[in-house]
Amino acid sequence: MIIDLHTQVWSNLDQLGREVAQRTREKLTERWGQFDGSPASHEEAMSCVDGALVFGFRSDRLGAQVPNEFIAEFVARDPKCRAGIAGIDPMGEDATDQFEAAIGMGFVGVTVSPASQGFHPVHSEAMCIYERCVAAGVPLFVTLGDPLASSAMLEFGRPAMWDEVARTFPQLPIVINQLGHPWIDETLLLLGKHENVFADISGVSARPWQLYNALLNALGFQVMDKLLFGSGFPRETPAKTIETLYTINSFSHGTHLPSIPRSLIRGIIERDSLARLGIEASVQRAAAPADATSSKPQSSTSDVSAVRLNGH
C-alpha cells in the first residue's frame, strides 16, 4: 500500500495568499515547470498510489485560504482513495469553530503552519487546538510553506519548538512536513526523542542530494522507521518521488560513499502510514481487479478505500 501523505489542491493560486501566489507564479517555469494544483491534475497524478491525504490551508495573516469545504467536496468525489486534512489557523478568532466544523465534515487530521500563520508552536491558542486534536483522535501535520512568503516568520518554523508540544501531548501524532527543512538534523533528533513524532519526505525529494544525506543521517539516528512517504503535490508528483527514492543510491555508485539499503527505502514508500498515525482505514485498491467469483470488489485492510478515524 502506498499513501501520499502530503498533497494539495486549489481552485486558483490566489487561495494561497497574494504574496505566495505571486512568488509561485514567478517560479513556475524556473523551478517547477508546469504547476497545476487543480483537482483534475491531482486525480491524474495520484493514479500510481493507493490513496492520498489532501491538505486545506488557512492563514489569516497572509490572507490565504484553501477552504476546508472545497477540500471536503473534492475528497467526497472519491472517498475510497482520498481523505482530508483541515487547514486550521490557531490565531483566528474562530479557530475552535474551524476545528469543530472540520471534524463534522469528516476530516482525519489538522494542519498548521506556525511560520505562515505567525505563532509560536506553544502559543496558548495553538495548544488549545492540539488538545482538541487529542480529544478527537486526529493527528497534527506541521508545514513550513514553499515558497515562503517574505513576511513569514521563519523563527517559528524550527522543529525543536515542537519538543514542548510533544512532551505536553505525548499521545498526539505529529508529522513534520519536508523533514523539517532546512533543520533536518533537528527533526531527526526529535523523531528519536518522541514516539509519536514523524516526518514526511515531501519537498526534500525534489532535491536528491539533500535527500540522500538526510536518509544517511536518519540511518545514523536510527529513525528510518519514522519517515513517511509524501510527494508535496503539485510541487512534485508521487511517481517522481518514488523514482527519486529508488535511484537515490546513484550518488554512491563507483565511490566510497555509503548506500541506503533498498529494503529501508521500500519501507518509506510502502509503510502503513495511516496505521502509524492512528488513522484506521478500510480500503479497496481502486486499480485492483474484482474477484472473479464476485461482481463486488473485495475489501482489504492493505488498500485505501473508506478512510475513517480510529474510533470515529
Q: DSSP letters of 113-161?
A: -HHHHT--TT-HHHHHHHHHHHHHT--EEE---SSPPTTS-GGG--GGG
Which of the 8 DSSP states describes residue 283?
B
C-alpha 109/C-alpha 140 separation (Å) is 6
Residue 21's pLDDT is 85
Q: Which domains does the chain have, with CATH numbers?
A: 3-309 (3.20.20.140)
C-alpha cell at 245: 527514492
pLDDT for res 31: 56
What DSSP designation does 293 have? T
Name the band, by pLDDT with cuts 50, 70 and 90, for residue 295: very low
The whole-number average pLDDT for the span 219-235 is 96
Q: Provide the pLDDT for residue 308.
A: 39
Q: Residue 14: what pLDDT?
A: 87
> Is 70 exceeded by the pLDDT of residue 166?
yes
In DSSP terms, 141 is beta-bridged to 111, 175
C-alpha cell at 100: 469543530
Q: Is the pLDDT of residue 24 over 60?
A: yes
User: How does pLDDT run across 68-98, given as a tens digit for each residue?
Assistant: 999 999 999 999 999 999 999 999 999 999 9
pLDDT 10s digits, 170-184: 999 999 999 999 999
115-163 pLDDT, tens digit per residue, is 999 999 999 999 999 999 999 999 999 999 877 888 899 999 999 999 9
What pLDDT, on a 0 to 100 scale, did the predictor assign at position 299? 33
pLDDT at residue 168 in the model? 98
State the pLDDT at residue 138: 97
Residue 189's pLDDT band (cuts 50, 70, 90)? very high
What is the pLDDT at residue 8?
94
What's the pLDDT score for residue 34?
Answer: 55
Grid coordinates representing 203?
519537498
> 2 or 295: whose pLDDT is higher?
2
Q: Mean pLDDT over residues 259-287, rounded?
A: 81
SS3 187: helix
Share of the chain above pLDDT 90, in %: 77
pLDDT for the residue 30: 55
Q: What is the CA radius of gyration of the chain?
A: 19
pTM (2 d.p.):
0.88
Residue 17: helix, strand or coil by DSSP? coil
- 58 in Cβ contact with 93 (< 8 Å): no
Side-chain half-sphere of 165: how many Cα atoms within 13 Å?
32
What 3-state DSSP class applies to 297? Answer: coil
